[in-house]
Amino acid sequence: MTVSDALLEVKGLAKSFPGVRALDGVDFSIRAGEVVGLLGENGAGKSTLVKTLAGVYRPDAGEILYQGRRAGFASIQKAQAAGITLIFQELNNCHNLPPLDNLFLGREIRRRGTPFLDYPAMRAKARELFDRLGIEIDLDADLSRLSTAVQQMIEIAKALLNDVKLLIMDEPTSSLTEKETERLFKVIRELKERGTAVVFISHKLNEVFAITERIVVLRDGKNAGEVNSRTGTMADLITAMVGRELAAVAPRRTADPGAEILRVEGLSGPPHVEDVSFTLRRGEILGFAGLIGAGRTETARMLIGAGPRTRGRVFLDGKEVRIRSPREAVDHGIAYVPEDRKIQALVLQMSVRENLTLAIHRSLLRFWMFLSGRKEVAITDDYIRTLRIKVSSREQVVNNLSGGNQQKVVLAKWLATKPRILILDEPTRGIDVAVKAEVHRIIAELAASGVAIIVISSELPEILALSDRVLVMDRGRVKRVIERNDATQETIMSAALLASQTAPELL
Amino acid sequence: MENQSDVPVSPVRPAPRAPASGVRAVVSHIVHRREAAIFLALVLILVGITVVAPNFVSASNLHILSRQISFVALVALGQLFVILHGGIDLSVGSIMALAGMVAAYCMKIEINPVLAVLLGTSAGLVMGAINGVLIAYTRLAPFIATLGMLSFASGMVLGLTKGVPITEIPESFLPIAQGDFFGISIPVWITLVVAVIVHVVLTYTAFGRRVYAMGGNEQATFLSGVNVRRIKLALYMISAGAAALAGIILVSRFNSAQADTGKGWELDSIAAAVIGGTSLSGGSGSVLGVLIGACIMGVIQSGLVQMHISSYWHTAIIGVIIVLAALLDRAKRRG
């Protein structure tokens, strides 16, 4: 491909966030009328790349050529005006407004010279757009009652209204049925016919092969290869996605798990966890692998009584227990370290001390209700020392700590409850390599001391480094439990990705 | 070292400065507290008014003024709990009227005044519990639930009394608001005692810590194993309890129970809290701040009278001060 026929060409794009190099010199190009797949593990940089293209982020370095000219959009609005639209995974519609109003939001047609809306003109235009997309839609429907697929079509229609030249779709099919997906593909082919370029991000490999011409693979913020959709194979793709050098990762631990402590049978609950069963032994680390949205976090939340559960039984030490709230989970010695520390784990404007002791107030009580300041200080200082949390003082506000140290505070908070079962959800997300290694060491030591541990992680090297067994989930179900000796990036990714190929709803 | 941890500090104080020694450390600590600025404002207002109207600081005026302030402060102390967790209680004014009316009615039918006070307070607590259940268990927005209660409780009072005040208050009940103790009127003592208790609860107990934590991040607090619903229920009961107490003391103060007692006090109590540096989004605020906030409001109102300025200007000035206090807070947080 020569530069001249590329609609968009990106060279050496780099973007960092505190503690993470999300993009590290990525090249990418797309022609008008081309459909290109963008693949990679969670955190490979796909979202950062497309958000940079669509004006959400500004790149730190690199060049973006759009229609042959240097570009770099300062805002989503500017990118849209130039014809680049990104349709987010979470759709961007106002749920209180009907389709017609959503379609024209910010681009309303007015009666000439007045502030009044020209509804007939808008209706006519809307019909024309939806006809072109080949879909029937009630323009006055209650948006919240429309399916995701229909709402997505409204977003695509919005893009058409903007005269879109490059349409980027981030996981558009993740919540669509097979039929809806087919219809979406038809629309994508229509767009392609009229010369629109489409970037398609998805974890469903068969779909990516079906709709794209070529697939660009990212890994650790770098280009990891490109696969031709007609001639390439799934195996090629998976190799490209996981071909990370394992040398940089901590060595695998060896452990000797004890008696069974937790047994889960048929756990199910909304939105999509179905019949999850597994066991966990003392001193064992069970890895939960799967793609984002596979139902791992929901399973954990159900276990600690924070999420709705419709069915399923939980046994602790062979006795059935009913855990209806996080409070009861703590009583049973189960600790859950959530995936988003700022939203779910920390009170940001409180001090290290106050956060660290938030889950152990009962053991600090004097005279029924007063917190023992002395005990609090002793426990806090103890964990600051043993976990090597870098703070200026125990009274430092946690908002001012680095991500890694915040995560250590969260970890300390839960270790202070002396848990028998510790569930860690993405324990090292967004923290730097050095602290990551420390966290891994802490987890391994805890397991060695007999704590039963579940590690939910979207990073396969982390799963592999820590786990005694790996449970692979996909769309709310357990796809496979892999013993340590059989667990490799390939076996795990195959279980997570390929299992869905044979799922009945996709045949 | 141990001592430092026992300093009653709310989670909102600024991060400790570089360690200074002795007196300077203490001074620095005081100056950097959020309350310092509004305390300074209070002093300036007091000085300003005194220059214009020297009589303002006369013993008799201060005596009356302090008693006036004590009522709003009492209601605001209850409101503080609710605001700290990120909620709001609009029903305190009508709960005052209801509790006062219940207590007065009990005394009218010659129930022992002590029992009457307890019954009046209980009526308030029941209303608070209804607020709490609606908010904590059926997840109604605090604004809506307490707005409903504001209307419901005042309607109950008007309906049951047909708007007629109860004036048959026994002599023995009057000293509660009209008496003195060591030269300071009893309502002031009551409010001070409540303030000390609230301060201790908020700064030294697990309950208090959890209220601040909920205001900062309710989800994290819930996932930490805290029963956030039960705490919410308690908070609205505390707020209603404080309001009920204030309403009952007002009966003693005016020798009668009026149906329109407490009208507008929800806004006065919220204003006192906000002027005192309490964040309406929850998680920060202190007893000291609320007391200073209530003082500023009372001083201005009384000062206008002393300076022979029409008291009609009062609410306009309070409005300006609320906004200034909020802007000051925002500037401090950013800076």
- Which residue in chain B has the smallest CA separation from A304? B223
Q: Which CATH number fits domain A250-333+420-506: 3.30.450.20, 3.40.50.300, 3.40.50.10190, 2.60.40.4070?
A: 3.40.50.300
**In whole angstroms, what is the distance from residue A57 CA to residue A74 CA?**
8
Interchain contact, B11 vs A354, CB within 8 Å: yes
Number of helices (H), then strands (E), belonging to chain B: the values are: 15, 2
Identify the CA nearest to A476 among candidates A459, A493, A499. Answer: A499
Min Cα separation B205/chain A (Å): 4
Q: Does pLDDT of B21 surpass 60? A: no
Q: For position B9, what pLDDT does the model report?
A: 38
Amino acid at A295: G
Q: For position B304, what pLDDT does the model report?
A: 87
Q: Structural domain boundaries of chain A?
A: 3-243, 250-333+420-506, 346-418
| Residue B6 covered by a domain | no
In terms of pLDDT, which residue wins out, A423 or A391?
Answer: A423
Of the pLDDT bands very low, low, confident and very high (cuts 50, 70, 90), residue B8 is: very low
Residues of A in contact with B333 (CB under 8 A): none
Residue among A325, A347, A374 whose CB faces B5 most closely: A374
Long-range contacts of A135-140 (CB under 8 A, 24+ apart): A135/A183, A135/A187, A137/A99, A138/A99, A139/A98, A139/A99, A139/A100, A139/A103, A140/A98, A140/A99, A140/A100
Q: Does pLDDT of A82 surpass 70? A: yes
How confident is the model over B29-52, as pLDDT tens digits? Answer: 666 677 888 898 899 999 999 998
Interface of B with A (CB under 8 A): 1-2, 4-6, 11-12, 15-16, 201, 204-207, 209-210, 212-213, 216-217, 219-227, 283-284
Question: Which range is most confident: A81-85, A91-95, B305-309?
Answer: A81-85
**In whole angstroms, what is the distance from residue A433 CA to residue A257 CA?**
28
Q: For position B31, what pLDDT does the model report?
A: 62
Interchain contact, A327 vs B226, CB within 8 Å: yes
Q: Does pLDDT of B5 surpass 50? A: no
Residue B219 burial (10 A CB sphere; 0-12, 13-18, 19+): middle
Interface membership of A361 toward B (CB under 8 Å):
yes
Interchain contact, A348 vs B217, CB within 8 Å: yes
Residue among A325, A369, A376 whose CB faces B5 most closely: A376
Sole residue written with tokens 């329109």? B260
Residues of B in contact with A329 (CB under 8 A): 225
Q: For position A316, what pLDDT does the model report?
A: 95
3-state SS assignment for residue B18: coil
Q: What share of chain A is helix, strand, coil (3-state, %, to 5)?
A: 35, 25, 35
Question: In whole angstroms, how far apart are CA B128 and each of A166, B79, B234?
Answer: 57, 12, 8
CATH superfamily of A3-243: P-loop containing nucleotide triphosphate hydrolases (3.40.50.300)
Q: For position B32, what pLDDT does the model report?
A: 64
Interchain contact, A347 vs B213, CB within 8 Å: yes
Question: Which range is most confident: A232-236, B137-141, B175-179?
Answer: B137-141
| Residue B236 covered by a domain | yes
Beta-carbon-side half-sphere exposure of residue B84 (alpha carbons within 13 Å): 35
| Residue B11 covered by a domain | no
| Residue B13 covered by a domain | no
Sole residue written with tokens 């967790």? B85
**In whole angstroms, what is the distance from residue B1 CA to residue A374 CA?**
9
Q: For position A312, what pLDDT does the model report?
A: 92
Interchain contact, A347 vs B5, CB within 8 Å: no
Query: Which of the residues B1, B5, B211 would you substitute to probe the A interface, choosing the one with the greatest number of A C-beta atoms within 10 Å?
Result: B5
Question: DSSP letter at B257?
Answer: B
* Residues B301/B316, Cβ–Cβ less than 8 Å: no
Residue B27 burial (10 A CB sphere; 0-12, 13-18, 19+): exposed
Structural domain boundaries enclosing B45: 36-329
Residues of B in contact with A344 (CB under 8 A): 219-220, 223
Mean per-residue pLDDT over chain B, rounded: 87
| Residue B71 covered by a domain | yes
Amino acid at B2: E
Q: CATH number, domain at B143? A: 1.10.3470
Q: Does pLDDT of B300 surpass 50? A: yes
Identify the CA nearest to A37 among candidates A254, A240, A203. Answer: A203
Residues of A in contact with B284 (CB under 8 A): 349
Q: For position B334, what pLDDT does the model report?
A: 60
Residues of B in contact with A365 (CB under 8 A): 206
Interchain contact, B11 vs A351, CB within 8 Å: yes
- Which residue in chain A has the smallest CA separation from B207? A369
How confident is the model over A20-72, as pLDDT tens digits? Answer: 788 999 999 999 999 999 988 767 888 889 999 988 888 999 999 999 888 87
- By residue count, chain B amounts to 335
Beta-carbon-side half-sphere exposure of residue B296 (alpha carbons within 13 Å): 34
**In whole angstroms, what is the distance from residue B275 CA to residue B285 CA?**
10
Which strands form A35-39's sheet, in the order they lie side by side? A84-87, A166-170, A197-201, A35-39, A214-219, A222-228
Q: Structure pTM?
A: 0.78
Residue A483 burial (10 A CB sphere; 0-12, 13-18, 19+): exposed
Q: For position A3, what pLDDT does the model report?
A: 44
Name the domain count of chain B.
1
Interchain contact, B225 vs A350, CB within 8 Å: no
Residues of B in contact with A352 (CB under 8 A): none
Of the pLDDT bands very low, low, confident and very high (cuts 50, 70, 90), residue B13 is: very low
Q: Does pLDDT of B302 surpass 60? A: yes
Start-to-end CA span in chain B (Å): 29
**In whole angstroms, what is the distance from residue B265 CA to residue B287 CA?**
18
Return the structure tokens found at A337.
Answer: 């370290």
Q: Does pLDDT of A351 surpass 60? A: yes
How confident is the model over A262-318, as pLDDT tens digits? Answer: 999 999 988 789 999 999 999 999 999 987 778 899 999 999 999 888 899 999 999
Q: Does pLDDT of A160 surpass 50? A: yes
In terms of pLDDT, which residue wins out, A105 or B84?
Answer: B84
- Its ipTM equals 0.78
How confident is the model over A185-237, as pLDDT tens digits? Answer: 998 998 999 899 999 998 778 888 999 999 999 988 899 889 999 898 877 88
Residues of A in contact with B220 (CB under 8 A): 343-347, 358
| Residue B80 covered by a domain | yes
Residue A248 burial (10 A CB sphere; 0-12, 13-18, 19+): exposed
Residues of B in contact with A373 (CB under 8 A): 2, 5-6
Of the pLDDT bands very low, low, confident and very high (cuts 50, 70, 90), residue B314 is: confident
In terms of pLDDT, which residue wins out, B289 or A505?
Answer: B289
Q: Does pLDDT of A242 surpass 80? A: no
Share of chain B above pLDDT 70, in %: 89
Q: For position A134, what pLDDT does the model report?
A: 79
